Structure 1
């Protein structure tokens, strides 16, 4: 903790190893809540949420979108535009459907899936049973992520190296 002349802000978060920094001095943008999932889904680094810097991150990055989920474990944003930040894990939304095992399984088959990682609150003892049900008979080669937003399943593909 720095005080006096060394203090440059009241609150900050740093992403390692990139050293990207967000502070309470960055422009604060009010994010609107929505259940409407757009083209891209972003998992927000928990340090930003815990430091109450989500609006400052939106201001610094020029984020144009909505907050679709905020909980102790996970904060999700959505947008129709790509947004670059080390504090955001970017996903391309492939499908939004009813949260029903049979519908999700059929959708994963259609997308040539092999694996699906569950990214929603589920009891630890139920995780592998549920995941194995979804992955049964999948013969593809792609890896997808499954989120739950309200009563909808959101199937995504993780975007890597989008910005070089």
Structure 2
């Protein structure tokens, strides 16, 4: 997944580690508290099992202490596969047609033709919305009094 290459961990990581440990070694309960209170994970059995899995996966490393995670093991965990930014498990219903998983958008959806020489109009916007577009691009500019906005493209008001 992501690999971090730094000479030494940032000071912020050091501060976070010592905020959640009592004696400089993080036990399972302290890791659980970190996961819930800092990472924002649910306070449930799944998070406790995750903390236990972290300990189990790092136990073979020289940087793992008998009582818990030393700072280097904690740092390795933060940037390792067990703490990846993406959930690698499917966690949503994936039985709908493929088109249901994409957002249909329109670029320059107010133009009647090509971007360089066509007019602006509401007609292409209406047509796009009828076809299922969910996001419409609009160019908003302050009006001459600067107390409102106008929808414009080039010199044309829509």
Establish whether TM, by shorter chain, passes 0.5. Answer: no
Q: Relative CO higher for 1 or 2, CA cutoff 8 Å, sep ≥ 6?
A: 1
Asked which structure has the greater CA Rg, the reply is 2
Bigger proportion of residues as strand: 1
TM-score (norm 2): 0.22
Bigger proportion of residues as helix: 2
TM-score (norm 1): 0.21
